[in-house]
């Protein structure tokens, strides 16, 4: 499997100092970070960074920080328990009807909050025999309806290798959906070529691409054009976002991202609560903060802009929605359950409405009088 190879990709902390992205005094700490976690900043990302802005949202996501050297309580190298559900190399089978297939362990650039940061960038991915074993696993499990290509970033594969995987999946009758998770349209939009788009299309499966984006600044004109190439070819797109402290944990910033995604014809899918990956404690918010943010988006933004706020349960139990609850049981009345439901303004309403019987009687009276 191929790695991203480009002289223009910044991979060494010293290169980041030369570009003015980090001060020279930080170099010793950043070299310690780079010795443990992969570092790469593509030319397209570097062009988006304003080195004069200490809070630049692109730099914060991809430029390493000494804070990554601090491991907090409960942090784990496999925070969502992938290993527990990996029957063969490259497969994670956590849910009955779908599996992750991870053909590569490299990315074009490396997020500083990645929950697979202990794995990615250190190995190339599956050898040919391992990939065939992973595909055999899928073939032998007819309950698998969806295959999710992940990694690493599967779109760093050459179109030829990607097409070979898609053809193999296309030949498995019980697989009906292939979902591809990627950041490449943001990290290196020029690599979303017509050849790569053709490689993703199959004759008998529904193919979806899920874009990982955390800030509206990532959706440059080039990134939007790359996404349009996929969508115009008939490949629907979804999005995933990680809730990150100081980056997108306010309603205006998060709302701007969700609207920008929808304007690009990308449906917001998941808002992930940050995982307990090592060295990422400075990124995590509280769950109550995330729920408050979701409340603020409800009503003020279109339903198209609403992702599902989810938590990957540590240890491997899977994702659970953890958004705010708008419905509260308040008991029974005449044997029927009664509720209070909250609207987007925070007002509570009885359900069924206490006056429903009277409203029906009044409507009947009006109807009769109108016929007289």
Task: Give me 244's structure tokens.
Answer: 């990150």
Task: Give me 52's structure tokens.
Answer: 């004069």
> Is 95 in the active site?
yes
Task: Report which of 34, 35, 33, 42 is spatially closest to residue 7, judged by C-alpha positions.
Answer: 42
d(CA 181, CA 158): 16
- Find tokens 């307990």 and name the residue: 276
Per the residue annotation, which of 319, 326, 339, 351 is the catalytic one? 319
> Is 312 in the active site?
yes
> Is 107 in the active site?
yes
> Is 264 in the active site?
no
Chain centroid to CA 365? 54
Which value, in Å, is the radius of gyration of the alpha carbons in the chain?
24
Please give the backbone phi and psi of residue 347, each rounded to the nearest 5 degrees, phi first.
-85, 145
> Is 111 in the active site?
yes
Per the residue annotation, which of 3, 98, 205, 265 is the catalytic one? 98
> Is 183 in the active site?
no
The neighbouring-strand residues paired with 148 are: 100, 179
Task: Report which of 258, 286, 280, 282 is spatially closest to residue 270, judged by C-alpha positions.
Answer: 258
Per the residue annotation, which of 110, 111, 191, 309 is the catalytic one? 111
Per the residue annotation, which of 60, 102, 116, 284 is the catalytic one? 116
d(CA 86, CA 157): 22
d(CA 19, CA 223): 23
Task: Report which of 116, 61, 98 is spatially closest to residue 277, judged by C-alpha positions.
Answer: 116
d(CA 39, CA 31): 10
> Is 275 in the active site?
yes
Per the residue annotation, which of 44, 78, 107, 179 is the catalytic one? 107
Contact 15, 2 (CB under 8 A): no
Per the residue annotation, which of 114, 227, 264, 305 is the catalytic one? 114
Per the residue annotation, which of 94, 112, 117, 284 is the catalytic one? 94
d(CA 309, CA 50): 30
Catalytic residues: 94-95, 98, 107, 111, 114, 116, 275, 312, 319
């Amino acid at each position: 499997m191929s790695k991203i190879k480009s002289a223009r990709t910044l991979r060494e902390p010293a290169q980041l100092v030369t570009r003015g992205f980090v001060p020279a005094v930080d170099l010793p700490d950043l070299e310690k970070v780079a010795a443990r976690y992969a570092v790469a900043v593509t030319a397209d990302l570097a062009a988006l960074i304003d080195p004069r802005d200490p809070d630049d949202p692109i730099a914060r996501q991809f430029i390493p920080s000494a804070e990554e050297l601090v491991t907090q309580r409960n942090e784990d190298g496999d925070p969502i328990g992938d290993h527990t559900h990996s029957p063969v190399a490259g497969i994670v089978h956590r849910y009955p009807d779908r599996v992750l297939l991870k053909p590569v362990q490299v990315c074009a650039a490396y997020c500083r909050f990645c929950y697979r940061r202990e794995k990615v960038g250190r190995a190339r991915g599956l050898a040919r025999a391992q990939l065939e074993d992973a595909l055999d696993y899928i073939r032998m499990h007819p309950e698998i309806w969806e295959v999710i290509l992940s990694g690493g970033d599967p779109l760093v594969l050459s179109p030829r290798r990607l097409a070979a995987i898609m053809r193999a999946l296309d030949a498995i009758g019980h697989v009906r959906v292939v979902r591809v998770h990627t950041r490449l349209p943001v990290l290196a939009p020029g690599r979303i070529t017509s050849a790569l788009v053709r490689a993703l299309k199959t004759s008998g499966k529904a193919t979806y691409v899920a874009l990982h984006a955390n800030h509206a600044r990532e959706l440059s004109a080039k990134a939007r054009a790359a996404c349009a190439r996929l969508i115009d070819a008939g490949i629907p797109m979804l999005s995933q976002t990680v809730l990150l402290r100081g980056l997108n944990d306010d309603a205006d910033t998060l709302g701007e991202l969700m609207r920008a995604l929808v304007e690009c014809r990308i449906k917001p899918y998941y808002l992930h609560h940050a995982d307990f990956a090592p060295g990422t404690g400075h990124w995590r918010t509280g769950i109550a903060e995330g729920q408050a943010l979701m409340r603020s988006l409800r009503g003020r933004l279109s339903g198209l802009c609403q992702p599902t706020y989810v938590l990957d349960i540590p240890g491997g139990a899977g994702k659970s929605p953890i958004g705010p609850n708008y419905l509260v049981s308040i008991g029974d009345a005449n044997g029927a359950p009664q509720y209070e439901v909250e609207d987007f303004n925070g007002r509570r309403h009885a359900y069924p409405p206490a006056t429903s019987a009277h409203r029906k009687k009044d409507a009947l009276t009006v109807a009769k009088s109108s016929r007289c």
